[in-house]
Homo-oligomer: A and B are copies of this chain.
Amino acid sequence: MSEIQRPGALYQQVAAAIREAILTGEFAPGSLLPSEAQLMGRYGVSRPTVRNAIAALRAEGLIDVRHGKGSFVRSDGQPALTLERRITRTPDGTFTMPNGDLWNVAEQPSTYRTRTTKATGRLLHLDEEEALFGCDRLLADPGTGARAMHRTLIPFEVAETVPQLVEEPGTHPAAIYRLLAQDGHTLSWTETVRARMPLPDERTALQLPDATPILHLSRITHGTDDRALILEELRIGADRAEAAYRIAADKQPARRART
**A interface residues, Cβ below 8 angstroms from B:** 19, 55, 59-61, 78-79, 82, 85-92, 95, 119, 122, 187-200, 211-215, 219, 238-239, 242-255
A251, closest chain B residue (CB): B89
Do the beta carbons of A195 and B211 come within 8 Å of each other?
no
Do the beta carbons of B195 and A213 come within 8 Å of each other?
yes
The residues of B that contact A239 with a CB separation of less than 8 Å are 196
Do the beta carbons of B213 and A244 come within 8 Å of each other?
no
A237, closest chain B residue (CB): B195
Do the beta carbons of A194 and B238 come within 8 Å of each other?
yes
Query: Taking the nearest CB of chain B, how far is it from the CB of A242, in angstroms?
Result: 5
A213, closest chain B residue (CB): B213
Query: Taking the nearest CB of chain B, how far is it from the CB of A89, in angstroms?
Result: 4
Q: How many copies of this chain does one complex carry? A: 2
Other A-B pairs, 10, CB within 8 Å; known A191-B247, A192-B243: A59-B211, A78-B119, A86-B247, A89-B249, A91-B254, A188-B246, A189-B247, A189-B248, A195-B214, A219-B247
- Which of A246, A250, A255 has the most C-beta atoms of chain B within 10 angstroms of its own C-beta? A246
Q: Which one, B188, B245, B253, contacts A190 given CB within 8 A?
A: B245
A251, B243: Cα distance in complex, Å: 21
A243, closest chain B residue (CB): B193
A187, B180: Cα distance in complex, Å: 33
Do the beta carbons of A187 and B249 come within 8 Å of each other?
yes
Do the beta carbons of A249 and B213 come within 8 Å of each other?
no
The residues of B that contact A198 with a CB separation of less than 8 Å are 60
Do the beta carbons of A86 and B197 come within 8 Å of each other?
no
